[in-house]
Amino acid sequence: MTNEELSINLEAMQDGTSGVDALPRDKDQLLPALLAMHQALDWLPREAISYVANHVQVPLSEVYATTTAYSELRLEPPVPGQWHVCTGIACNLAGADKLLDQIPNTARIDCQFLCALAPVICDEDEQLFGRVSVEEFRDRVNS
Amino acid sequence: MKTNASAPLARLREQHPAPRLPRILVHCGTAGNAMGATRYLEELRIALGDRSDSVVEAASDGANWAAPAATVAQGTYMRRFERLDLHGIDDVIACFNGDCGDEANYAGTGGRGLTARLGRNDGTLGDVLAQGGYSALDRALTSTPEQLLDAIEDAGFTGRGGAHFPVATKWRLAAADTHRPRMLVVNAEEGEPGVFKDRHLLEGDPHRLIEGILIAHYAVGFERAYVYINGQARTARAIFENALADAAAAEIFSGAAWNQTFGLKIHVRSGAGGYVCGEESVILNSIEGERPVPRYKPPYATDRGLFGNPTIINNAETLCAITTVFEKPPPPTKLVSLSGDVPRPGLYEIPVDGATTWTSLLVMAGTNPLDVQAILIGGPSGVFVMAEQFEEVLEMRSLGAGGVVAFGSNTDLSQITRELASYNMRESCGECTPCREGTTRMVALLEHPAEHRKEIANLIEILTEGSLCQLGGMAGRPIQSALDQFPTAF
Ligand SMILES: Cc1cc2nc3c(=O)[nH]c(=O)nc-3n(C[C@H](O)[C@H](O)[C@H](O)COP(=O)(O)O)c2cc1C
Ligand code: SF4
Ligand code: FES
């Protein structure tokens, strides 16, 4: 990891901790605290989880059990530049496989709840795009 | 709907005047933005120059197939312009200037039901009040809580989250327990693949949900309400919180606008994904900071729910639907999230009036029903309805949460069945053995179903009867349905 990346992470970590510090130190704030961290960092490194555990006064093992149970909480950093293609039923019907095949560095994701705009893709910032063709997808990735 | 407003409601309308017409509502929101709607918002504003205030951002009106779209409102006349990406904005501007053409093209069915204001307001309180907002609450406040419960019971309202439990029955269970603080949990987790109605409601008419919450509060008397919103639905949450702030500032939420003290505290929470996280007892655990797994029942939530208190959990659509209780006759409608092989996929509010059939729904969506071999209702917990059954009359119960996917003649339904089984396996939370082991085993058996008919039947029974929650409990439904309807496909 370069110094620059490290410093961005530290800054994000600071955002995360101040988000957590703003919440009451009660157990029912566990998920809001995890989400505050996740929003700042895009994922939950070990330090972030320990910080949350300490803040809401819940044992670390339990915080891990909770964290791993929510599908949207990432325990690894997102892959840079990776786009997601919805492979829910409607998007599959609309040709999600073709998008996955033809665009590099794409991953599958479950239903994004825009099924009426299938096929749906999602960029790094979780912005959704609907009714996407291979050509449009390629343009977006390259722009 | 503006008639018979009480003095307090009339005062609210005075303080928050209706917007000026004509105007152009550009349908943005999550659905519109995914189709680039904001670009047309900008283009229209530039084109209208010093009249650019008349171009306002509105949410999706549910017609996702028409996105990107804009609606011109001229007095009571509204016309929606569809697929601006194909047709451009010239006709929109012409209509705004008075030349709308004579094509009958009104936005939606108009005026009634719980989607009446969807995408047809700019989010300001004045706009919502002018379109009938808070008039159901106003009316409710003139009756006693008991009379209100009777009205809800007489209208036959059932929960819209999937299980269709009678609303009045549930509310009465908590209303009776006056010694303990009562809790309301609004389930807007909406994690069932294929369903997108609650997001539309929250983005397109958040004041309707607030009104529904206040009506429930008046009937039952809650200490606190928690609105639990899907973690990915950030736009929905932001719009809802803005509306909440407006309702508070206007003294609607406190009741002061009606010289009352409602005394309800409200909290907004976000979820973090997983199909099972929409199950009611999982939400209770999630709010309390426990692991998001289902609870054993009994005790039921109405007895020992959130933080041990009597708790009502209702779907967001349920509470929105309650605001139509005084419309005459009360329209028994259900929101349907329609996707798949139809020309006009989107959100539909359909009458469940003993006349609507699957065919009517498909025709509404622009399809020749002959082009559809089957539909799936209820996603991974659902059933297939085959073409021969399309003439069946729709019932509330058969609609589940309202997720419907249509399959054209080329779809391999056995493949869809396998996808559903594998989805349930991935989403099983692992808390109970029948579902944790059973959903995995099911995926394996479905590789060669013909050789394992008996074992599959057996496994469906175990899942149905032995699972702790209805994720496992209903995981066998689509499989059973597939085996009944198209056994030769495997
Ligand atoms: C696996 C599973 C997922 C569910 N997901 C949702 C959901 O996303 N939204 C919802 O309102 N109800 C969902 N439910 C149903 C709730 O448990 C509960 O019945 C409902 O919120 C009650 O509200 P209602 O009576 O207003 O329908 C789910 C149930 C199960 C078993
Ligand atoms: S049925 Fe499945 S999802 Fe429900 S508690 Fe059991 S393992 Fe978890
Ligand atoms: S199936 Fe892709 S958004 Fe629902």
Q: What does the pLDDT read at residue B74?
A: 84
Q: What is the CA radius of gyration of chain A?
A: 18
Nearest residue of A to residue B286, measured between CA atoms:
A31
| Residue type, position A134, single letter | V
Domain B20-121 class? alpha beta
Instruction: Look up the ipTM and state it.
Output: 0.95
Note if the pTM is more than 0.90: yes
Q: Within chain B, which residues score under 50 in pLDDT?
A: 1-2, 104, 107-110
Residues A83-142: name the CATH superfamily.
Glutaredoxin (3.40.30.10)
Q: B310 with B183: CB under 8 angstroms?
A: yes
Share of chain A above pLDDT 90, in %: 92
Shortest-distance atom of ligand 3 to CA A92: 1
Nearest residue of B to residue A128, measured between CA atoms:
B34
Pairing status of strand A106-109 against strand A83-86: parallel
Q: What does the pLDDT read at residue B101?
A: 78
Q: What does the pLDDT read at residue B433?
A: 98
Share of chain B above pLDDT 70, in %: 97
Taking all residues of chain A, what is their mean pLDDT, rounded to a whole number?
A: 94
Q: What does the pLDDT read at residue A3?
A: 47
Fold for the domain defined by B333-408: Ubiquitin-like (UB roll) (3.10.20)
Q: What does the pLDDT read at residue B106?
A: 56
* CATH 3.40.50.11540 assigned to B135-322: yes
- Domain map (residue ranges) of chain B: 20-121, 135-322, 333-408, 413-489
- pLDDT greater than 80 at residue A87: yes
Token readout for B277 is 């996280």
Domain B413-489 class? mainly alpha
Phi and psi of B241, rounded to 5°? Answer: -65, -35
Q: What does the pLDDT read at residue B216?
A: 98
- Domain map (residue ranges) of chain A: 3-69, 83-142
Pairing status of strand B224-229 against strand B183-188: parallel
Q: What is the CA radius of gyration of chain B?
A: 23
Element (H, E) at A34: helix A30-41
Q: B286 with B231: CB under 8 angstroms?
A: no
Selection from B122, B306, B335 nearest residue B227 by Cα: B306
How sure is the predictor about A5, in pLDDT bands with cuts at 50, 70 and 90? low
Q: Which residue among B34, B65, B193 places its CB closest to the CB of A111?
A: B193
Q: How far is the CA of B280 from the centre of ligand 1 (A)?
A: 6
List residues bridging with B76 in a β-sheet. Answer: none
Q: Which residue among B194, B269, B293 places its CB closest to the CB of A89?
A: B194
Spell out which residues of chain B touch residue A90, defining contact as CB-CB under 8 Å.
194, 339-340, 345, 405
Say if B135-322 and B333-408 have the same CATH topology. Answer: no
